[in-house]
């Protein structure tokens, strides 16, 4: 797949509402978006999935996408661009480079990140040259926001949840890595996920971005080496088990929150 076909400047794409109420002020008509959502090869469940089924079929064995599990309408409202800039604009946020094994950290005011660094990413940008806002949240300062979030209802036995909140532009994402189990929910935008089980390490360069991998590597993979994948939208939650390799790609300016179980 060429870079030209992957990236598309959409003035007013069909079926994609650019109203501020649905995108929270994070997107604009002229924004560069990524158009390819790819297939969804992850199981999708609504609220009919029982806890017993979750534990037996997914918790320790494979990812699953969950729809309609919680109503985060209020949390979504609080995550609008106008509200976050008003409440947190002058507070420092810690940005990380988007490479797999080493991370350079930079502290900047949230408003500076939004105004100057929150922008589409080029496929030829190295991971070490990116600055990505995700995970290094000062829980005390962000507590008033986090307490409004309704986390997924099912947790693993003997675990508790810890939140990581982020905002990132089109084409950004975290390259392949693994850690403990968790959930990820999109509040605004779309996020494409690529996943491999623990015994199937993907081929990737640790300092190349997910966008570069999708552009250059993914189209060349034979069927048996392709990842499990799915694009999730606002109100959808993806669960990933322990030690599963995963990479993410934001297709729009995305606001998202993860619940890590540990």
The DSSP symbol for 113 reads I
* Residue 151 phi, psi dihedral angles, 5° rounding: -75, 160
Q: Say which residue the tokens 């969804």 belong to.
A: 40
Task: Give the pLDDT of residue 138.
Answer: 67
- pTM of the predicted structure, to 2 decimals: 0.89
What is the per-residue pLDDT for 10? 32
The alpha carbon of residue 81 and the mean position of all alpha carbons in its chain are separated, in whole angstroms, by 17
Structure tokens at 33: 């978006």
Residue whose C-alpha is closest to residue 241's, from 77, 59, 28: 59
Q: CB burial class (10 A; 0-12, 13-18, 19+) of residue 188?
A: buried
Which parts of 169-241 are beta strand (E)?
A: 182-188, 191-196, 228-232, 236-240
Q: Report pLDDT digits (tens) over 105-164.
A: 889 999 999 999 998 888 888 888 888 888 777 667 888 999 999 999 999 999 999 999
Q: What is the largest distance, in Å, between two alpha-carbon atoms of the chain?
A: 48
Name residues whose C-beta falls within 8 Å of residue 220's C-beta, 6 or more positions apart in sequence: none
Tokens 């990380």: give the residue. Answer: 96
The pLDDT of residue 43 is above 80: yes
Q: What is the mean pLDDT of the chain?
A: 88
Q: How far apart are CA 140 and CA 138, in angstroms?
A: 6
Place of tokens 């420092």: 92
3-state secondary structure of 210: helix
Are 166 and 117 in contact by the 8 Å Cβ rule? The answer is no
As separate numbers, helices (DSSP H) first and strands (DSSP E) second, the chain gives 8, 14
Q: Which of 34-48, 125-139, 211-225 is the least confident region?
A: 125-139
Predicted local confidence at residue 5, as pLDDT: 36
C-alpha count within 13 angstroms, C-beta hemisphere, residue 61: 7
Q: Is the pLDDT of residue 239 over 50?
A: yes
> With contact defined as beta carbons under 8 Å apart, do 9 and 34 qualify?
no
With a pLDDT cut of 90, the percent of the chain lying above it is 69
């Amino acid at each position: 797949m060429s870079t030209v076909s992957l990236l598309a400047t959409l003035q007013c794409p069909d079926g994609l509402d650019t109203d501020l109420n649905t995108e929270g002020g994070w997107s604009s008509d002229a924004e560069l978006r990524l158009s390819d959502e790819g297939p969804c090869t992850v199981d999708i469940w609504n609220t009919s999935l029982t806890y017993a089924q979750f534990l037996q079929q997914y918790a320790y064995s494979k990812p699953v996408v969950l729809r309609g599990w919680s109503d985060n309408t209020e949390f979504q409202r609080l995550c609008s661009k106008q509200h976050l800039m008003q409440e947190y604009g002058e507070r420092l946020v810690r940005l990380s480079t988007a490479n797999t094994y080493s991370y350079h950290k930079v502290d900047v005011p949230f408003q500076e990140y939004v105004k100057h660094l929150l922008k589409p990413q080029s496929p030829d940008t190295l991971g070490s040259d990116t600055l990505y806002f995700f995970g290094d949240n000062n829980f005390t300062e962000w507590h008033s926001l986090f307490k409004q979030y309704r986390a997924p209802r099912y947790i693993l036995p003997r675990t508790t949840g810890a939140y990581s909140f982020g905002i990132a532009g089109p084409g950004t994402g975290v390259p392949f890595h693994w850690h403990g189990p968790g959930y990820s929910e999109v509040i605004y935008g779309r996020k494409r996920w690529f996943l491999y089980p623990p015994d199937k390490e993907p081929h990737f360069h640790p300092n190349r971005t997910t966008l570069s991998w999708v552009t250059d590597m993914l189209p060349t993979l034979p069927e048996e080496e392709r990842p499990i994948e799915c694009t999730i939208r606002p109100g959808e939650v993806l669960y990933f088990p322990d030690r599963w390799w995963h990479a993410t790609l934001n297709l729009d300016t995305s606001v998202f929150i993860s619940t890590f179980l540990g």
